[in-house]
Structure 1
């Protein structure tokens, strides 16, 4: 993984190069789900691990794959492709689970691959355009232009709001 350099302009007054204060820098982990690139705040990520089978739980939404045992912690695991309404992922050993913490709750996100660590100035994060309903639109918090592509910034809080799961996997307030 390579870190994307943010293009923070430098002030060359009096020969001393200093960053121009435009806003706070943020880091995100970017990953692929299908052909799309998404990102989440790096501060929510506990670890990234290869795919392992989960133990299914009864009466859960399709996107809840079940739970996995992560060194004694039971972690509910969610298929982001299915959560976005794109069908269930046919898992392979090449898929990855991003372990995140959302509102003091640990959970796993099944993705196709982790791509990069992005460091961007908050001024570079564009708002989500107002448009007709698109897949996963209610989970978006911004768009980050990266070279010729766009990386969609996800809000984990919106993605996993109270009541979106069965009672055994609710995110604690």
Structure 2
């Protein structure tokens, strides 16, 4: 079966594919269709006066790509860059964004009823970017609406950083 036929079969079955990755002890999942490529961590060019979670930019085949360290963004663990650190390159509409994570785990297919609504945490935690929680085998993954997160007002600096080059 071709890849397109497999994707079609999944769509008919009502499943959506997600790329899972880890940040510290937590596992997250994002829509696989937003992922352009996965690559090892590259050194970035730092941009002055950006939040700590915006590491800077890389030049990827002539495209200036802002890089966000998700460990710093979500406040989960130290940002240690080693041979396991991965950069997920996202294609979000008109923009390309790099996202640094600890490791990439798997690609999983989930149906809408397998994604449970995230509990409300009140003002203690911003859950507007969380689509829900999914049980994958014996573990729990936090399903993130990566497009909503990366295009939010607080991340608006991504546009400014990308336009500055």
Relative to structure 1, the CA distance from residue 163 to residue 152 in structure 2 (aligned partners, 3 Å threshold; closer, same or farther) is closer
Q: Paired residue for 1:55, among 21, 26, 45? A: 45
Higher helix share: 2
**Superposed CA RMSD:** 2.3
Unmatched 5+ stretches in structure 2: 1-9
Unmatched 5+ stretches in structure 1: 1-18
For 2:76 and 2:26, the matched residues in 1 are separated by: 11
SS at match of 1:168: helix
Q: TM-score with structure 2 length normalisation?
A: 0.82
Contact 1:84 1:136 in 2 (8 A): no
**1:169 counterpart residue number:** 161
Q: Paired residue for 2:98, among 108, 111, 134? A: 108
| Post-superposition CA distance 1:106-156 (Å, at most 9, x none) | 000000000000011122111111234555533211111112211110111
For 2:125 and 2:38, the matched residues in 1 are separated by: 25
Alignment: residue pair count? 151
Q: Paired residue for 2:135, among 142, 145, 163? A: 145
For 2:126 and 2:74, the matched residues in 1 are separated by: 5
Q: TM-score with structure 1 length normalisation?
A: 0.78
Q: List 4+ stretches of structure 1 deviating above 6 A.
A: none
